[in-house]
Structure 1
Amino acid sequence: MTNSTSTTTVGAESAPVRAGRREWTALGVLMLPLLLVSMDVSVLYFATPAISADLRPSGTQQLWIFDIYGFVLAGLLMTMGSLGDRVGRRRLLLTGAAAFGGASLLAAYADSAGTLIAARAILGIGGATLMPSTMALLRTMFTDPGQRAKAIGLWSGVMTGGIALGSVMSGVLVEHFWWGSVFLVNLPAMALLLVLGPILLPESKNPDPGRFDWPSVPLSMAAVLPVIYGLKEIPSEGWHPLYVVSVTVGLLFAALFVRRQRTAASPLIPPALLRGRGFTPALVLTLVSAFGMMGSAIFTTQYLQSVLGKSPLQAALWSLLPSVLIGVAGPVTGVLVARGVHRGHVVAAGFAVTATGYTALAFTGTDSLWLVLAAAGVLASGVVMVMSQLTDLAMSTAPVERAGSASSLLETATEFGGALGMAVLGSVGTAVYRHRMPSSAPAEARETLGGALADADRLPGRAGRSLLATAREAFTSGMHGAAIAGAVVLALAAVGAAVTLRSIRVGDDA
């Protein structure tokens, strides 16, 4: 159906073929690597004490054990997406699965911190091949707009839920087995993918890709990694000159990367891809959506543990409850679009729902478990609504031969948005916390809630309890400030989505 406003159809395909049982089964197989790659972001949360006791890493080594996976993953996404378009997405996916499985085995039996860091780096390389390849193959298998929207909704839900599931699984496994078991769970899934992938997944690639632009590879990494690094450090360390310089250097390399893409004969990211009607708005709004998703997580996880006093495993188990709403949001969104609701309206509503979740966080007290969980569920549901539709819009706009490059750009925007959300909202919360803490409090307690908890343990009786209560109040006030800022950003994004997407249709949109 159509509506009275002028519309532009993007990414239309002639005579789309409806997917059958084979394609849906293949989608289930593709969900395995996606789930594991997203879980590996948080799978070390509860394994860290056991790893520290066994491998005795230095402070720097412990940071690299955590961070190297995400850095390598973010830095190589664009390279691997473009490579998949050239050598074949299925081939790259299976190669990445083999690397991911081998690195998981190496990590599980690592006998030194250096070996574990190297294994985590290889896991990041494997993850960078798996994520854009799964989305590109999904674009190839599901040509019917309605079916593709449902498939991408499932993809978005699995991606969002995997991060929460990773921390819980690590807690359960470490409680019953040794720390290496958190990596061994990857092996059966990767083995299944290697067996079923060649049977169920079609091969697809760009028939005329041109020469691979090798100079763009280091430029892309030099653009992404310093920015991600700086933004991730700012919430905990503040606006230190080192991190500001890091972000600035990354942005300078980003400018060089863009210039290279405009002048190279066969660029890594073709400029024409960004000129596709609907692709750039989807890319920008995806970044804002990731801003909202990760900007809240930095507060809700600390609130459950440091304000309510839950153990890490208890906090992780409680944090699974919002996933119930996440599981409902994706299918409901798909039904709305299938029944003719304009995609722009759905995306705008998703941002409004996310803003509502942030608004609810602004009304929490120091004993508001259920309100925080409800707010987190509403917030995450809005994110799934937005991301599923923006991903479908971007992938429908992109030519099939550039599906790998398109998906890698979306994933990179997600990484940037998440880091930016933690940096900006984390800084707002920290500023409010420090303002609310009395000058008479110990210096460490005035910096962070964790420092206040440590100082409270060292103080006698009433003094310790008073400091702890003050710090928890200050942290909750900081969360209120960040929540208000987040609500404003997401409300503006809702207006922006309604305006920029109002004249764009993808196949079945109203």
Structure 2
Amino acid sequence: MTATTGRAGRREWIGLAVLLLPTLVLAMDMGVLFFAVPFISTTLAPSGTQQLWIMDVYSFLLAGLLITMGSLGDRIGRRRLLMIGTAGFIGASLLAARADTAGQLIAARALLGAAGATVMPSTLALIRNMFHDPKQRQIALGAWGGVLTAGATLGPVAGGLLLDHFWWGSVFLVAVPVMALVLLTAPVLLPEYRSTARTGRFDLPGAALSMAAILPLVYGVKTLAVDGWSPLPALAVPAGLLLAAAFVRRQRTAADPLIDLGLFRIRTFSGAISVNTIAMFAMMGFSLFTSQYLQLVKGMSPLTASLWSLVPSVGVGVAVGTSSALAGKVRPAALMGGGFLVGAAGFALMTQVGAHSPLALVLVAAGVLAAGTVGTMTMTAEMVVSAAPAEQAGAASATSETAVELGSSLGIALLGAAGAAVYRHQLDGALPVGVDGEAARAAQDTLGGAVTVAGHLPGRIGTDLLETARAAFTDGLHVAAVVGLVFALGAALLAYRLMRHLPAAAPAPEAEAEAAAEAVTV
């Protein structure tokens, strides 16, 4: 179907509501597992590395396949791809809920990521195709971004509510009825769109390289940080970088590449992607620390911890409202740079959090951090979608979401791995007398393992182990906060440099896209 021009009507707005449902589920799926980590540690006994894989293999598979699926949706139809991914997500959710081992759960999470990769590009690309009026599109994209933020906030709460009454696998089942509703309503309420300009052969080598470049790089970084030096992960890092370089070269030389690298010559497009990547690195990388701190250090139940985790969203609401109010009056570079400076202040506060710190300090620090990073992201979605030509909406959206997912995944992996490495180092040789053998290995792997072991130890030994493990965890939290602080300060400078060409009331980004396209073809 060929896109039409003009203002959107009732069908498009109802269709938007359908598109927001899978967006909500995918955003929730990032955080719904946070409070289930202690239960998974007890039931499936994953190693420290397996625990990190359980948390972020979903995002890495999603990130690795987004560009491929975005380009595929441009060719076979964005609604069709959305429905395929929705059906796959239902099946993978059922498999994850019934996993009996850590390996099975990692595999099910990987399938969830692959299914999610077929859904996400279609939601944003269809909005780009359904809403041609700039003001209507801005409202639709604002709703999309708001639901994305709400899902990330509600995910831990939904997880806490379910874990208070059911087994840990129930956190995956919440997606099933929502995705089933999308599967039933999409053929009726969503129009089909495909690009008539992309008629060449699908770039299978490029698709393989886009996936192959991510996994070895991430595996190497995670394993080296958690387990120390060993040959295989040390070789995986340069192998991933070489594959990434091969992917870029392939996209430059292929007759019909997955993504037109000329899009990155559009400063608005490349700048918005860079800002989003770093913002997600900072925010998602630290969300896992906050949830574990409330539950395992402060000893809260999943429901209590998830409800307290809503408090920082107050700061997010203030930041989003402030950004929207200032959008037409202050240059985007100043707003984004200022947002990252606020996020840096949140990281600085996190370095002061200890095992016995008042709860208010943790919540204020998390609120300031989230307010700064989310405040910057609210301004970038419309920039990315509008800057790309309509026929490349799927690939452009996928590229943006790949960067976002990669940023969030690397945040969890790198900040999580840094915290895990410090935790293990601090416990090495510091375990109380009487904690040895299998119990010592479980306690050194994760804080959840230490809490479980302490619950089976008599009197003072269990208490001493808890104190030592919680202190080691907060030491790891401090190191991760310092890393995040450095990234946030660097991001403030980067955002200012990349976006300083935009005035406070920016002209329509399509004009910039057309100019860049002409420059590419000359």
For the criterion TM > 0.5, the same-fold answer is yes
Deviations 1:150-194 (CA, angstroms, capped at 9, x unpaired): 433432333244244334323433544566654443333223323
Hey, what's the Cα distance between the residues in 1 that align with 2:459 and 2:365?
A: 34
- Code of the residue aligned with 2:27 in structure 1: it is S
Task: State whether residues 65 and 117 of structure 2, in contact with CA within 8 Å, keep that contact through their aligned partners in structure 1.
Answer: yes
Partner residue, 2:487: 489
Residues 332 and 189 of structure 1: CA distance in aligned 2, closer, same or farther (over 3 Å): farther
Hey, what's the Cα distance between the residues in 2 that align with 1:352 and 1:300?
A: 20
Residues 374 and 42 of structure 1: CA distance in aligned 2, closer, same or farther (over 3 Å): same
Hey, what's the Cα distance between the residues in 2 that align with 1:352 and 1:57?
A: 39
Partner residue, 1:246: 236
Hey, what's the Cα distance between the residues in 1 that align with 2:124 and 2:372?
A: 21
Hey, what's the Cα distance between the residues in 1 that align with 2:8 and 2:400?
A: 24
Partner residue, 1:9: none
Structure 1 gap segments, 5+ residues each: 1-14
Residues 439 and 310 of structure 1: CA distance in aligned 2, closer, same or farther (over 3 Å): same
Partner residue, 2:470: 472
| Matched pairs, number | 493
2:381 paired with 1:381: no
Task: State whether residues 39 and 163 of structure 1, in contact with CA within 8 Å, keep that contact through their aligned partners in structure 2.
Answer: yes
Hey, what's the Cα distance between the residues in 1 that align with 2:430 and 2:165?
A: 44
- Code of the residue aligned with 1:91 in structure 2: it is R
Residues 330 and 86 of structure 1: CA distance in aligned 2, closer, same or farther (over 3 Å): farther
Task: State whether residues 235 and 426 of structure 1, in contact with CA within 8 Å, keep that contact through their aligned partners in structure 2.
Answer: no
What SS is found at the alignment partner of 1:41?
Answer: helix
Residues 254 and 124 of structure 1: CA distance in aligned 2, closer, same or farther (over 3 Å): same
Task: State whether residues 267 and 498 of structure 2, in contact with CA within 8 Å, keep that contact through their aligned partners in structure 1.
Answer: no
Shift of 1:358: 1.1
Hey, what's the Cα distance between the residues in 2 that align with 1:277 and 1:150?
A: 23
Alignment of 1:156-195 (within 5 A): 156-177=145-166, 181-195=170-184
Hey, what's the Cα distance between the residues in 1 that align with 2:428 and 2:107?
A: 44
Shift of 1:196: 3.4
Shift of 1:213: 0.9
**1:324 alignment partner, one of 314, 335, 338:** 314
Partner residue, 1:100: 89
Deviations 1:80-105 (CA, angstroms, capped at 9, x unpaired): 01111112222211222233234445
Partner residue, 2:516: none
Hey, what's the Cα distance between the residues in 1 that align with 2:318 and 2:155?
A: 20
Task: State whether residues 157 and 326 of structure 1, in contact with CA within 8 Å, keep that contact through their aligned partners in structure 2.
Answer: no
Partner residue, 1:10: none
Deviations 1:269-310 (CA, angstroms, capped at 9, x unpaired): 112122223222222222211221123223212321232122
Deviations 1:352-381 (CA, angstroms, capped at 9, x unpaired): 221121122123232221221122122122
TM-score, normalised by the number of residues in structure 1:
0.83
- Larger deviation, residues 101-110 vs 152-161: 101-110
What SS is found at the alignment partner of 2:353?
Answer: coil
Percent of aligned pairs sharing the same letter:
54
Hey, what's the Cα distance between the residues in 2 that align with 1:363 and 1:115?
A: 38
- Code of the residue aligned with 1:321 in structure 2: it is V
Alignment of 1:499-510 (within 5 A): 499-504=497-502, 506-507=506-507
Hey, what's the Cα distance between the residues in 1 that align with 2:256 and 2:174?
A: 40
Task: State whether residues 23 and 148 of structure 2, in contact with CA within 8 Å, keep that contact through their aligned partners in structure 1.
Answer: yes
**2:15 alignment partner, one of 26, 30, 35:** 26
Task: State whether residues 63 and 403 of structure 2, in contact with CA within 8 Å, keep that contact through their aligned partners in structure 1.
Answer: no
Task: State whether residues 62 and 405 of structure 2, in contact with CA within 8 Å, keep that contact through their aligned partners in structure 1.
Answer: no
Partner residue, 2:496: 498
What SS is found at the alignment partner of 1:40?
Answer: helix
Hey, what's the Cα distance between the residues in 2 that align with 1:180 and 1:451?
A: 19
Shift of 1:44: 4.6
- Larger deviation, residues 263-272 vs 419-428: 419-428
Residues 248 and 199 of structure 1: CA distance in aligned 2, closer, same or farther (over 3 Å): same
Shift of 1:424: 3.9
- Code of the residue aligned with 2:392 in structure 1: it is R
Residues 241 and 293 of structure 1: CA distance in aligned 2, closer, same or farther (over 3 Å): farther
- Code of the residue aligned with 1:228 in structure 2: it is V
Hey, what's the Cα distance between the residues in 1 that align with 2:23 and 2:243?
A: 29
Partner residue, 1:7: none
Task: State whether residues 104 and 186 of structure 1, in contact with CA within 8 Å, keep that contact through their aligned partners in structure 2.
Answer: yes
- Code of the residue aligned with 1:80 in structure 2: it is M
Residues 322 and 21 of structure 1: CA distance in aligned 2, closer, same or farther (over 3 Å): farther
Hey, what's the Cα distance between the residues in 2 that align with 1:391 and 1:201?
A: 21
- Larger deviation, residues 104-113 vs 221-230: 104-113
Structure 2 gap segments, 5+ residues each: 433-439, 510-522
What SS is found at the alignment partner of 1:278?
Answer: helix
Deviations 1:290-342 (CA, angstroms, capped at 9, x unpaired): 221123223212321232122334322322222333344334423322x3322
2:29 paired with 1:40: yes
- Code of the residue aligned with 2:69 in structure 1: it is M
Task: State whether residues 150 and 334 of structure 1, in contact with CA within 8 Å, keep that contact through their aligned partners in structure 2.
Answer: no
Residues 432 and 329 of structure 1: CA distance in aligned 2, closer, same or farther (over 3 Å): same
2:301 paired with 1:311: yes
Alignment of 1:273-422 (within 5 A): 273-337=263-327, 339-365=328-354, 366-422=356-412
Partner residue, 2:512: none
